[in-house]
């Protein structure tokens, strides 16, 4: 549990001691507001990390997810803790309102947007509270860390502290025959396995819940019908790794797009989201909450 003592703040993510006047952790760049706003909370914050290659749709997915939660979709109610928590959702919604996708996430950790929400899930019988902390990571940073561990230490620290992971995989790319998404997923999970504390390794399966989210499923509607089958057929390496090393995995299909247009200029083709139609955004998250 992080602490605030004598003008020193221990970072929520990497436990480094920071002088209280800092806004970002000197070591990992996580906002220290995460500590000040979770300090004294009734529950320990749960960190859920969204992983995935560059361009799979992490920023778009997370922005819409947080927005749906704060619009009280299904039985959820979410309250942002600190105005900084709203930045990601606002950026994504504003861009999409102008029929543009948000820009690529910069690789520098001090530019990442973090969100901290108090989430209430009202089920018929009982209410469940979860304090959710989640950063919007850059895919390039994730790829660099997975390729040679410790280039982005913050990703390692995050995984240690994470209660669950959403692994985003580009379904459209996989369906087109590219092996890149499959290899990336396989590398990611073997990285997760190697990073877990020694005691958790060995014969036992890894029990961190992993929701594999197949993004851009609007390009591959079959994906919605049976995401597990799609993954087994098109992401077989990743699928096998899940089967043999992880005890709690589920597959989901998601899309934020109703229809797309394309604008071409100088050989650069830009997709233009004509209207948003969200599907499969909340389901993986609901599943994660049920596992916590
Ligand atoms: N068709 C379709 N395209 C999508 C969808 N979501 C994202 N995209 C496309 O994928 C691109 C990348 O989305 P981002 O959310 O920026 O990807 P990211 O994973 O955050 O990428 P990095 O920031 O580089 O790590 C967008 O610019 C869109 O072109 C979707 O649901 N359907
Ligand atoms: Mg991004
Ligand atoms: Zn830190």
DSSP string computed for 161-209:
HEEEEEEEEEHHHHHTT-SHHHHHHHHHHHHHHHHS-GGG-SSSPB-S-
Dihedral angle sign, alpha carbons of residues 211, 229, 202, 148:
negative
95 alpha carbon to ligand 2 midpoint, in Å? 13
**Cβ–Cβ under 8 Å, residues 166 and 48:** yes
Q: What is the pLDDT of residue 45?
A: 82
59 and 4, same structural domain?
A: no
Helix crossing, 236-245 with 180-195: angle to 10°? 20
Please indicate, yes or no, whether residues 152 and 257 belong to a single structural domain of this protein: yes
Pocket probe mutation, ligand 1, options 50, 99, 101, 139, max atoms within 8 Å of Cβ: 101
Condensed to tens digits (0 to 9), the pLDDT of residues 5-56 reads 678 889 989 999 999 888 899 988 888 888 877 766 677 788 899 999 999 9
User: Which among 40, 33, 131 has a CA at the least distance from the CA of 82?
Assistant: 33
Token pair belonging to 242 = 């899940």
Locate tokens 């819940």: which residue?
Answer: 209
Residues 83, 186 within the same domain: yes
Q: What's the confidence (pLDDT) of residue 126? A: 74
- For atom 4 of ligand 1, which residue has the closest CA? 216
Same domain, 78 and 156: yes
Q: pTM for this one?
A: 0.92
pLDDT given for residue 272 in this prediction = 80
The residues lining ligand 1, judged by C-beta closer than 6 Å to any ligand atom, are 52, 54-60, 101-102, 104-105, 138-139, 215-216, 218-219, 255-257, 260, 271
Q: Are residues 63 and 23 in the same domain?
A: no
Domain identity same for 113 and 32:
no
Give residue 1's pLDDT: 47
What backbone phi and psi angles, to 5 degrees, belong to 256? -115, 0
Amino acid 137: pLDDT: 95
Same domain, 122 and 88: yes
21 and 58 assigned to the same domain: no
Token pair in block for residue 215: 């993004």
Q: Nearest ligand to the C-alpha of residue 223?
A: 1
CA distances 93 to 1, 64, 90, 195, 248, Å, are: 34, 7, 5, 35, 32
Tell me which residue range forms the domain holding 267: 45-291
**For residue 15, what are the contacts with CB-CB under 8 A and spacing of at least 6?**
2, 157
Tens digit of each residue's pLDDT, the chain (292 residues): 456 667 888 998 999 999 988 889 998 888 888 887 776 667 778 889 999 999 999 999 999 999 999 888 788 889 998 888 999 999 999 999 998 999 999 999 999 999 999 888 887 677 788 888 899 999 999 999 999 998 898 999 999 889 999 999 999 999 999 999 999 999 999 999 888 765 555 567 788 999 999 999 999 999 999 999 999 999 999 999 999 999 999 999 999 987 777 878 878 888 887 778 888 999 999 999 999 8
pLDDT of residue 259: 74
């Amino acid at each position: 549990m992080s602490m605030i003592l004598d003008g020193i703040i221990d970072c929520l993510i990497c436990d480094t001691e920071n002088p209280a006047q800092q806004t970002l952790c000197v070591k990992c760049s996580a906002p220290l507001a995460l500590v000040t706003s979770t300090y004294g909370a009734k529950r320990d914050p749960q960190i859920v990390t969204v992983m995935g290659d560059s361009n799979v749709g992490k920023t778009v997915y997370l922005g819409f997810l947080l927005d749906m939660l704060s619009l009280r979709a299904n039985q959820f109610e979410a309250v942002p803790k600190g105005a900084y928590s709203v930045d990601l959702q606002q950026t994504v919604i504003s861009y999409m309102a102008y029929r543009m996708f948000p820009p690529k996430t910069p690789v520098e950790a001090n530019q990442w947007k973090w969100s901290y929400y108090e989430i209430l899930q009202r089920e018929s019988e009982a209410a469940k509270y979860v304090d959710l902390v989640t950063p919007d990571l850059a895919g390039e940073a994730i790829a660099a860390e997975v390729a040679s561990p410790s280039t982005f230490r913050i990703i390692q620290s995050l995984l240690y502290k994470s209660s669950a992971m959403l692994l985003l995989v580009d379904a459209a790319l996989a369906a087109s025959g590219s092996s890149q998404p499959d290899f990336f997923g396989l590398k990611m999970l073997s990285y997760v396995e190697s990073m877990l504390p020694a005691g958790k390794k060995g014969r036992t399966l890894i029990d961190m819940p992993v929701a594999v989210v197949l993004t851009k499923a609007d390009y591959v509607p079959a994906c919605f019908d049976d995401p597990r089958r799609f993954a087994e057929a098109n992401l077989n390496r990743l699928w096998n790794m899940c089967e043999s090393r992880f005890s709690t995995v589920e597959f989901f299909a998601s899309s934020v797009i109703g229809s797309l247009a394309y604008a071409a200029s100088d050989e650069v083709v830009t997709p233009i989201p004509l209207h948003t139609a969200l599907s499969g955004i909340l389901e993986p998250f609901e599943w994660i909450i049920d596992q916590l």
